Amino acid sequence: MNVPGGVIVLDFGGQYTQLIARRIREQEVFSAILPCNASIDEIRGMRPAGIVLSGGPSSVYDKGAPVCDTSVLRLGLPVLGICYGMQWMAHSLGGKVVKAEHREYGPATLDRDKDSTLFHGLPTHLKVWNSHGDHVIGLPSGFETVGRTDNAVAAIEDASRHFYGVEFHPEVQHTERGSEILRNFVFEVCRAKKNWNRASFVSDTVEAIRKQVGDARALCALSGGVDSTVAAVLVHRAIGDRLSNFFVDTGLLRRNEFQETLTFLRNRLGLKVEGVDASERFLARLAGVTDPEEKRKRIGAEFIAVFAEEARRLAAAANREMRFLVQGTLYPDVIESVSVKGPSAVIKTHHNVGGLPKDMPFQLVEPLRDLFKDEVRLIGRELSLPSEILLKHPFPGPGLAVRLLGEVTKDKLEVLRGADAIVVEEIRRAGLYDKVWQAFAVLLPVRSVGVMGDYRSYGYTIAVRVVTSEDAMTADWAHLPWDVLEKISVRVVNEVHDVTRIVYDISSKPPSTIEWE
Ligand code: XMP
């Protein structure tokens, strides 16, 4: 999608690239991401008001370090380089970048020496968030230093050419008033006009889907979660009854989830949804598999196989081809799975992206691919979906398989379902469900000794995982009240057969991830 007059983010592979685009969209200005090596014609063709060069994991002197076409700096457009983006711009314009003696990760203070449009209205000292091992020690001609941290030049500008660079990350929450820095760039430097909001996202996306699908038919992988539901509603608006929805029971769903979700989607949302019980084939495909990536890949492949069969069945019935598969893929699924638009590091293969086989018979329709979960919730509100669905915790596509470490078996799934239902119930009872990002149980392949009714027991360990987060890119463990933890612990060992020990997961993301596999 493109809206002229927006800000284009050129991606050098930074983990925070999408946050930049999202912060700009929060100002109601369109922003899209292109790979750093996008052609100059493509960039110009989008008629942007300005360009942001993202951060990235490389050093400008690395062999094969990502680069842009340097004519990006000759388009006459304002440019903001962030971290690697600033280093690349300085390096390309004749400045000097070196490996830092003191690498900067985490908080630092920016001390500003001079006024700058970029920092208009902001104090001269600001807490900023860094993540870099190189820094700029020689400025290109025309540039001036605007601010420093203890260790490095942290902000530079060539105001006459509208070129700005910051070594820190204004897009992350931890940078004090970072959004205002980006707002200054967007409105005061680029002179962009507000041209994007939720209503326009809905109408632009519906239009884009209509164009993509034409008069063909589409199949939606509906899971009852907010992402696929919002995706389905958007596609339904675009192509009406040419969309068929399916909800697959993978055998990896939570207690009662299959029936309850089908009822909700049909009765509350009025969607036409077919339930497909594929639990036996998923479990057979997972037999003997313990490697987390292998599990994810097999589940992804099985999903596609199921959909392909359903599509063929439906196409035969309608005597027409089913060419499109709708998925509620979000940006974090993409960024952590594959290097889509830039050279970001792969963290996990999310089932709805990395596991797709090459000969897949579908083209994907992924209307939410550039958004974060909380943006999707806002879009859902725009579409008037019930808050019950909008506030639902995320549940991963591979389901309980990534919360059950080791081989997935029916018996272990039952144990996990029992524990999980109690965790969620107690979190709801304590009024915490809407305050935390996710709350769930994990079954560990660790048995330990317990004592029950004077007898020795030897059962499973359940880890309770409850996290707070804004967008799943980073997360913290929820500091739950002791009495809530106590209730969970007592109920799980008493009510779930075969569990002798409960532990609470107190890891943040990073370095851990939210799911255990
Ligand atoms: P991690 O474990 O990577 O999870 O910190 C981040 C968020 O993504 C969810 N998640 C998934 N969602 N397909 C999905 O649709 C997947 O394969 C998948 N894996 C993780 C996870 O629940 C958390 O909210």
Q: Is residue 304 part of a domain?
A: yes
Q: Is residue 378 part of a domain?
A: yes
Tell me what pLDDT residue 385 has. Answer: 94
**In the beta sheet, which residues pair with residue 53?**
10, 81
Is 472 touching ligand 1 by the criterion CB < 6 Å? yes
Residue 498 CA to its chain's centroid (Å): 35
Tell me what pLDDT residue 336 has. Answer: 53
Q: Which residues contact 319 (CB under 8 A, 6 or more apart)?
A: none
- Average pLDDT value for the chain: 90
Position 344 confidence tier, pLDDT thresholds 50, 70, 90: very low
Is 276 found in the same domain as 359? yes
Is 184 found in the same domain as 202? no
Is 509 touching ligand 1 by the criterion CB < 6 Å? yes
Percentage above 70 pLDDT, the chain: 93
Tell me what pLDDT residue 342 has. Answer: 44
Residue finishing a domain among 337, 364, 390: 390
The one catalytic residue in 91, 169, 236, 351 is 169
Mean pLDDT of 24-35: 92
Tell me what pLDDT residue 273 has. Answer: 92
User: Is 19 exposed, middle or buried, given 0-12, 13-18 or 19+ CB atoms closer than 10 A?
Assistant: buried
Domain of 182, CATH number, reads 3.40.50.880
Is 381 found in the same domain as 254? yes
Q: Is residue 512 part of a domain?
A: no
pLDDT by residue (tens digit) across 382-430?
999 999 899 999 999 899 999 999 999 999 999 999 999 999 999 999 9
Residue finishing a domain among 358, 390, 422: 390
Is 355 touching ligand 1 by the criterion CB < 6 Å? no
Q: Is residue 513 part of a domain?
A: no
- Between the CA of residue 137 and those of 151, 152, 154, what are the distances in Å? 11, 8, 10
Is 64 found in the same domain as 170? yes
Is 202 found in the same domain as 161? no
pLDDT by residue (tens digit) across 320-338?
677 888 989 887 676 554 3
Is 482 found in the same domain as 409? yes
Give the separation between CA 175 and CA 163, rounded to whole angstroms: 21
The one catalytic residue in 171, 302, 366, 426 is 171
Tell me what pLDDT residue 358 has. Answer: 58
Tell me what pLDDT residue 359 has. Answer: 60
Question: Does residue 354 surpass a pLDDT of 50?
Answer: no
Total domains present in the chain: 3
Mean pLDDT of 95-117: 89
Position 504 confidence tier, pLDDT thresholds 50, 70, 90: very high
CA 435 / ligand 1 centre spacing (Å): 18
SS3 of residue 34 by DSSP: strand
SS3 of residue 135 by DSSP: strand
Mean pLDDT of 220-241: 92
Is 333 touching ligand 1 by the criterion CB < 6 Å? yes
Answering whether pTM is above 0.75, one says no
Is 220 found in the same domain as 145? no
Residue finishing a domain among 140, 172, 189: 189
Is 178 found in the same domain as 290? no
Is 380 found in the same domain as 358? yes
Domain of 301, CATH number, reads 3.40.50.620
Domain of 411, CATH number, reads 3.30.300.10
Please report which residue ranges of 198-291 form alpha helices under DSSP H: 198-213, 226-239, 257-263, 279-286
pLDDT by residue (tens digit) across 58-92?
899 888 899 999 999 999 999 999 999 999 999 99
Tell me what pLDDT residue 41 has. Answer: 96
CA 175 / ligand 1 centre spacing (Å): 25
Is 176 found in the same domain as 230? no
Write out the residue range of the structural domain in which residue 500 sits: 403-504
Which amino acid belongs to residue 497?
A: H
Q: Is residue 511 part of a domain?
A: no
Is 441 found in the same domain as 366? no
Query: Which amino acid residue places its CA nearest to atom 18 of ligand 1?
Result: 396
Q: Is residue 514 part of a domain?
A: no
Q: Is residue 79 part of a domain?
A: yes
pLDDT by residue (tens digit) across 203-219?
999 999 999 999 998 98
Question: Does residue 366 surpass a pLDDT of 50?
Answer: yes
Q: Which atom of ligand 1 is nearest to the CA of 348?
A: 3
Q: Is residue 480 part of a domain?
A: yes
Is 351 found in the same domain as 309? yes
pLDDT by residue (tens digit) across 265-319?
998 888 889 999 999 999 999 999 999 999 999 998 898 888 788 777 876 776 6
